[in-house]
Amino acid sequence: MELINNYKPLFVKPPPNRYFVLTGGRGSAKSFHVSVMLLNLTYETGHVILFTRWTLTSAQISIIPEFIQKIEMLNLYDDFKITSDEVINIKTGSKILFKGIKTSQGTATANLKSISGVTTWVLDEAEELVDQDIFDKIDLSIRSRTKPNRVILIMNPSYKTHFIYNRWVKVKRNDTTYIHTSYLDNINNLSQSFIENANRLKGLNELRYRHLFLGEWLDEDQGILWNQKIIELTRIDTLPDLKRIVVAIDPSTTSTKNSDETGIIVGGIDYNNRGYVIEDLSGTYSPNEWGLTVAKAVGRHEADCIVAEKNQGGDMVENVIRQHDKKTRVKLVTATKGKYTRAEPIFGLYEQGKINHYGKFPLLESQMISFNPDKNTQSPDRVDALVWLFTDLMLNFVPSSNVTFSTPLRHKRRR
């Protein structure tokens, strides 16, 4: 197995430092080299390796398959016992434990600290851990006296306000080994389609390309999703036949001059599974006003579903809608992830040219361009509604068994 030279310090014994900071963009082979190194480490007796992510619901699905792949590549399957949350080296007894830091009850810091004999802590997707107190509590529990201790941080760089940047990157430390790679270091192992996607993004959004693919840190005032060039490429003058139309709402529960806007975006999907923004009806409304606005939009566009965020009022949201529309299906959704995490897959659809804007939407598009979830103080309600819209239309929609789309639901609309 040929390793990229940058990663060879990982395999040095004894390790040159306690801390290893691995940064890089997509396709940079960080996970590949760390998993190989950890499997190699288990051939030494007495190692307990704690592999964590901020959230980890099922290591058996998300992480362990990557380790199994490396075991098979190295023809070492008979040397390991694999469970739903452990990889155990049968020859030595050393093992890798897979744990999440955040749980439904809070954080599992106390449980992680209590694991006996941990010699190596791996924090994968380290950019997601923003609380340095939690980091310190686990870090200080890695103190084996019989084996060298390692703390390995693996991350796609985020903003320069992150504590990892300020503690390790802003000023280089003598107790840390730094490894940075990009897909260009690993290009011989990547598919042509991956390379083409990287080159396409470079032409569309240089900042996002440098961040995602080259692994550069961002200043806090930089946005990393939409730009004007990407949005201009979405413009169309003719709307095709659509198989579904949805009205999406990010509701505000108050109506004063200082209230957040209620985001109301109408969109649809055609028979080639391309998405379309049709109308932006967002504004500062009372609940009764936005309920009436939504009902009129449903009738005007013959929408088959209303998607609404329920975090701002729960049952009240559906009650407001039902005062004006008693028939249309209402789907309430919950924001369980951060704004950036929810928005990025939708941006990916824009990036691939799968979403069009039927005309211009200046206020929505301005909010899209300025969208920065780590900095925005006001809620980007139009963008939130846009995200709910295309999440339902293009990512999550599963038609019920009695719904068919054998003929166009709507005629073409022209401006």
- 283: pLDDT confidence band, cut at 50, 70 and 90? confident
- The domain made up of 228-414 is a member of CATH 3.30.420.240: yes
Q: Do domains 5-186 and 228-414 have the same CATH topology?
A: no
pLDDT tens per residue, range 13-32: 999 999 999 999 999 999 99
Q: Which tens digits make up the pLDDT trace of 64-73?
A: 988 999 999 9
pLDDT tens digits for range 111-134 = 888 888 999 999 999 988 888 999
Tokens of 71: 């075991």
CATH of 5-186, picked from 1.10.10.60, 1.20.1640.10, 3.40.50.300, 3.40.50.980, is 3.40.50.300
pLDDT (0 to 100) of residue 214: 94
Q: What is the pLDDT of residue 401?
A: 42
Percentage of the chain exceeding pLDDT 70: 88
pLDDT at 375 over 90: no
- Residue 159 three-state SS: strand
Predicted pLDDT at 393: 94
Rounded distance between C-alpha atoms, residue 214 and residue 181, angstroms: 8
Predicted local confidence at residue 398, as pLDDT:
53
What whole-number distance in Å separates Cα of residue 247 and Cα of residue 268?
A: 9
Has this prediction a pTM greater than 0.75?
no
Please report, for the chain, the start and end positions of each structural domain, with discontinuous segments joined by +: 5-186, 228-414
Cα separation, 195 vs 180, in Å, equals 19
Distances (CA, A) of 23 to 10, 133, 218, 274, 321: 13, 21, 13, 35, 47
Q: How confident is the model at residue 259 (pLDDT cuts 50, 70, 90)?
A: low
pLDDT digits (tens, 9 = 90+) for 336-359: 667 777 888 898 899 889 999 998
- Give the span between the Cα atoms of 90 and 159, in whole angstroms: 42
How many other C-beta atoms can be found within 10 angstroms of the C-beta atom of residue 237?
8
